[in-house]
Amino acid sequence: MTEQTVPEVFATRFDSLALDAKLLRAVIDSGYTEMTPIQAKAIPLVLDGRDVMGAAQTGTGKTAAFSLPLLQRMLKHENASTSPARHPVRALVLAPTRELADQVANNVKAYSKHTQLRATVVFGGIDMKPQTAQLKAGVEVLIATPGRLLDHIEAKNCSLGQVEYVVLDEADRMLDIGFLPDLQRILSYLPKARQTLLFSATFSPEIKRLAESYLQNPILVEVARPNATATNVEQRFYSVATDDKRGAVLKLIKDRALTQAIVFVNSKLGCARLARSFERDGLRTNALHGDKSQDERLKALEAFKRGEVDVLVCTDVAARGLDIADLPAVFNFDVPFNAEDYVHRIGRTGRAGASGLAVTLVTRDDQRLVADIEKLIKKKIELEAIELDDQRPARPPRRSHEESSDAPRSEPREVRERSAPARSSYSAPRAAPRSSDPFFDKPYEPSSASSDAPAWESAANAPSAGKAISANIKPKKKVAALFGAKVAETAASS
């Protein structure tokens, strides 16, 4: 693997590249004039047909770094024919999450809108029929998640036999969530002669082994130290108790006057519960996790981008590649299990050179996870204390009937305390009022009977004549033997 040294960051205009006028027009329409460092280094290499591994911080324009040169190279196949055979899949972009795949597809469509090249996206969670119709009509650029792409391959909805360019976007995440077998199956359908690009913010040893297997003499382009966090993001770590996390988020939102924030949690159940709690606190909140349908997830993202939602509570499905402009803050409500996810989470803020705030709430059980983050970003983490406002209303003490009659409920507690007589710091608990039932208040009177034996025993031992049996004791029934009773009665009568 060839490594390229990183030069100093310098401004380079898009119009200095060998790009077609149609693509430059689309770039200008998107509001871009200056290239980011990863774009300035990677685009010329991709235009030259080299395999590239691009390592850059999140929010630095990696999507344009691979999509613009690939579109430029595919312009030779541009045609206006309506025949699907004239529009085979020539570029394949694989993404780990549905949201990232949809975002990449929107960018590719924006860059190619002035050309005859077709692009579409396929991912799970929605009906396959509309996707099948688009694939059958023919597309040059296919953006997909691995699972849904395999579904279409098995259904013979698309053929990858003419693919010339392959992009693995956020490949480390695909390995984390177990997509390696799917990746190997998909790559087995592709021609051996192809150009392969791999872009990510973090490069693990597994990623480098994958690159050695599927890339041919790749050039490693790094515009920042590997796994580095953005320098324009303020990172704060607060030591809090588990029950105080929500209060800490509310205090920081209030003190910093934050207009919007993304709050990351580790579980889908915790995501839904925390979103409901923020709703009760008066914040416009939505949840984004894997149990929601794709339509619900896309609507939640669009509402957040439009500013209709204050807090978006997410799992790590939103940690990779999502581009939300001018997001002021990110909260790690739970410290991520994988240190690499920390880099991606805080990369949702401070994008495109803007400043941002990344807050991580740390409990006693998170010490090992924080140590992993320290090791990854090679930076000492200092835990800070945070003073929380006790916004929970104090529960009033229980009052007895006499207290409630002396002081009306409408008076404030302070007024009642000033008007009450001075008491010692400790008062014995008030005894419950005694019953006024005369039967229970009557003292015990022993029985006048001389015998200590129970009445039923003395009655049973006494002769039957002269003493009556207690009314509470029923006499024993005499059950006659079979046919014996009649015989005895007959003999007695005779």
**DSSP assigned state of 466:** T
Out of 152-166, 189-203, 268-282, 377-391, least confident range: 377-391
Residue keyed to tokens 């739970």: 334
- Which pLDDT score is estimated for 156? 93
Answer with the residue of higher pLDDT: 220 or 392. Answer: 220
Please give the C-alpha separations between residue 279 and each of 251, 282, 298, 311, in angstroms, as whole numbers.
15, 5, 20, 9
Residue predicted with more confidence, 179 or 121: 121
Dihedral angle of Cα 363, 365, 369, 375, to the nearest 10 degrees: 80
Please state, in angstroms and rounded to a whole number, the distance separating the CA atoms of residues 460 and 458: 5
- pLDDT of the residue at 435: 52
Burial environment of residue 453 by CB neighbours within 10 A (0 to 12, 13 to 18, 19 or more): exposed
Determine the average pLDDT of the residues in 449-473: 54
Main-chain phi, psi angles of 35, to 5 degrees: -85, 150
Between strands 91-94 and 356-362, the pairing is: unpaired
Instruction: Tell me the C-alpha distance between 332 and 330, whole Å.
Output: 7
What pLDDT band is residue 469 in, cutting at 50, 70 and 90? Answer: low
Show the domains of the chain with their CATH numbers: 2-222 (3.40.50.300), 233-384 (3.40.50.300)
Q: What angle do CA 274, 370, 241 make, to 5 degrees?
A: 45
pLDDT at 143: 95
Q: What sign for the dihedral angle of Cα 67, 68, 70, 71?
A: positive
pLDDT above 80 (res 241): yes
Reported confidence tier of residue 9, pLDDT bands at 50, 70, 90: very low
Confidence of residue 473 (pLDDT cuts 50, 70, 90): low
How many CA atoms lie within 13 Å of 14's alpha carbon, on the beta-carbon side?
26
CA distances from 248 to 101, 361, 389, 483 (A): 34, 8, 9, 91
Residue with tokens 């941002």, as numbered in its chain: 356
Q: Which amino acid is located at 116 in the chain?
A: Q
What are 144's strand-pairing partners? 94, 122
Statement: residue 452 has pLDDT above 60: no
Q: Which residue has the higher pLDDT, 112 or 480?
A: 112
The vertex-219 CA angle with 111 and 5, nearest 5°, equals 105
Residue 76 confidence (pLDDT): 92
What pLDDT is recorded for position 471?
61
How confident is the model over 259-283, as a mean pLDDT? 90
Task: Pick the most confident of 207-216, 278-287, 353-362, 392-401.
Answer: 278-287
Percent of the chain with pLDDT over 90: 31
Please return the burial class of 71, using the count of CB atoms within 10 Å of its CB with bins 0-12, 13-18 and 19+: buried
Lowest-pLDDT range of 27-31, 256-260, 296-300, 445-449: 445-449
Q: Which of 70-79, 248-257, 332-341 has the lowest mean pLDDT?
A: 332-341
CA dist list (Å): 94 to 87, 122, 147, 193, 217: 19, 10, 10, 18, 21
pLDDT digits (tens, 9 = 90+) for 98-155: 878 888 999 999 999 999 999 999 998 888 999 999 999 999 999 999 999 999 999 9
Per DSSP bridges, beta strands 34-35 and 12-13 are antiparallel
Residue 372, C-beta contacts closer than 8 angstroms, at least 6 positions apart: 339
Predicted confidence (pLDDT) at residue 426 exceeds the cutoff of 50: no
Alpha-carbon Rg for the chain, nearest whole angstrom, is: 39
The residues pairing with 2 across neighbouring beta strands, listed in sequence order, are 219
E strand or H helix at 480? none
Query: What one-letter code names the amino acid at 203?
Result: F
Answer with the residue of higher pLDDT: 137 or 171. Answer: 137
Angle at Cα 233 formed by Cα 230 and Cα 235, nearest 5°? 110
pLDDT of residue 162: 93
- Asked whether the predicted pLDDT for residue 429 surpasses 70, the reply is no
| Average pLDDT of the chain, as a whole number | 78
User: Average pLDDT in the 483-493 region?
Assistant: 51
Q: CA 264 to CA 80: how far, in whole Å?
A: 45
In this prediction, residue 456 carries a pLDDT of: 53
Hey, what amino acid is at 148? R
- Let me know if 9 is exposed, middle or buried by CB neighbors in 10 A (0-12, 13-18, 19+): exposed
| The pLDDT of residue 400 | 46
Lowest-pLDDT range, 46-55, 246-255, 313-322?
A: 313-322
- pLDDT exceeds cutoff 80 at 359: yes
Q: What is the pLDDT of residue 393?
A: 40
First to last CA, the chain: 128
pLDDT digits (tens, 9 = 90+) for 252-261: 999 988 988 9
pLDDT higher than threshold 60 for residue 185: yes
pLDDT bracket for residue 45 (50, 70, 90):
very high
Nearest to 261 by CA among 248, 244, 280: 248
SS3 of residue 108 by DSSP: helix
How far is the C-alpha of 10 from the C-alpha of 4, rounded, in Å?
A: 16
Distance CA 282, CA 297 (A): 22
The length of the chain in residues reads 494
Which of these ranges, 167-176, 257-266, 338-347, 471-480, has the smallest mean pLDDT? 471-480
Q: Which residues contact 395 (CB under 8 A, 6 or more apart)?
A: none
| pLDDT reported for residue 77 | 92
pLDDT at residue 4 greater than cutoff 50: no
How many other C-beta atoms are found inside a 10 Å radius of the C-beta of residue 449? 10
- What is the rounded CA–CA span in Å between residue 264 and residue 333? 6
C-alpha span between 218 and 424 (Å, rounded): 82
